Amino acid sequence: KNEVEQSPQNLTAQEGEFITINCSYSVGISALHWLQQHPGGGIVSLFMLSSGKKKHGRLIATINIQEKHSSLHITASHPRDSAVYICAASGAGSYQLTFGKGTKLSVIP
């Protein structure tokens, strides 16, 4: 069983919709990362958080340490948001990332 679980695996939304992607992890972590991978393959780091909430433009990431759960929200979604969103955890005392399997988001005009 993967230590980092994401849901849903696939998500299709209409332009303008509010989107939520969820991530659960089973071990203690030092930080939770949200990554974006576009069809070309490149990976962009969106957020790194260890508590609370972070916001960047239309993207919001939250984490609940007690519940071992994080969410990525996209407000006013746009077709250019179409990508695979990957949740990754860096374990306490560990330098390596453990990745979820990703959520493929398609935003339709």
Interface with another protein, residue 75, by CB under 8 A = no
Interface with another protein, residue 57, by CB under 8 A = no
Interface with another protein, residue 98, by CB under 8 A = yes
DSSP 8-state class, residue 39: T
Q: Which residue in 33, 27, 21 sits closest to 68, CA to CA? A: 27
Instruction: Compute the distance between CA of residue 34 and CA of residue 88 in angstroms, rounded to an integer.
Output: 6
Distance of closest approach, residue 7 Cβ to another protein, in angstroms: 15
- Per CB under 8 A, which region of 10-18, 20-28, 54-62, 88-96 contacts another protein? 88-96
Distance of closest approach, residue 99 Cβ to another protein, in angstroms: 4
Cβ-based neighbours of 19, under 8 Å, separated by 6 or more: 11, 13, 73, 74, 77, 81, 105, 107
DSSP 8-state class, residue 32: E
Interface with another protein, residue 20, by CB under 8 A = no
Interface with another protein, residue 45, by CB under 8 A = yes
* Residue with Cβ nearer another protein (17 or 31): 31
Angle at 104 between CA 14 and CA 59, to 5 degrees: 65
Binding residues (CB under 8 A) for another protein: these are 30-31, 33, 35, 40-45, 48, 86, 88, 90, 94-99, 101-102
